[in-house]
Amino acid sequence: MAAARGDLDEARAELDAARAFGAANLLDHAQQMRLEAGIAARSGDLDNAQNLLWRHLDLLKGQPNERSQRATALRLFALWMIAANAPARACAPLRESRTLYAEVGGRPGGEAVSALLLESGCPAEG
């Protein structure tokens, strides 16, 4: 919640406290990594955010709902890039997210991604 409010220092402190407390009971490692990626993106460290999110995606491999979670995480990453005025970094993740939503029957997610593709000015696929 602190990250959503824009208080990145508090968000980092809360995440560190959760880890020290044993956040595995509250958040699994993949969720912690995604939160850390969000904090990095909001602080402007886009390369670190991308690295952390890609590591988060690697942790999803083999899970029963991997494609759905991957689609959502990629859409979230794209939103971070758009918010950071780096919409070109959102294009490939948005396209993959749209494909994954179509595969899992996630029509609302797919429609949201299609709208983001237009909004971000991604070039049309050839």
The predicted pLDDT at position 15 comes to: 67
Answer yes or no: do 5 and 48 share one domain: yes
The predicted pLDDT at position 52 comes to: 87
Answer yes or no: do 124 and 75 share one domain: yes
SS3 of 44-77: CCHHHHHHHHHHHHHHHCCCCCHHHHHHHHHHHH
The predicted pLDDT at position 63 comes to: 87
> What's the number of domains the chain is made of?
2
The predicted pLDDT at position 125 comes to: 74
Answer yes or no: do 51 and 74 share one domain: no
The predicted pLDDT at position 25 comes to: 57
The predicted pLDDT at position 18 comes to: 65
Q: Which domain holds residue 17?
A: 1-61
90: exposed, middle or buried (Cβ count in 10 Å: 0-12, 13-18, 19+) = buried
Q: Could you say which DSSP state residue 125 is in?
A: P
Answer yes or no: do 49 and 3 share one domain: yes
Phi, psi of 110 (to 5 degrees): -60, -40
Residues (pLDDT < 50) of the chain are none
The predicted pLDDT at position 2 comes to: 65
Instruction: Single out the residue in 61, 80, 97 at which a domain terminates.
Output: 61
The predicted pLDDT at position 3 comes to: 64
CA distance linking residue 110 with residue 99, whole number of Å:
8
Cα pseudo-dihedral 47, 126, 100, 76, rounded to 10: 30
Tell me the three state secondary structure of residue 122: coil
Q: Could you say which DSSP state residue 124 is in?
A: P
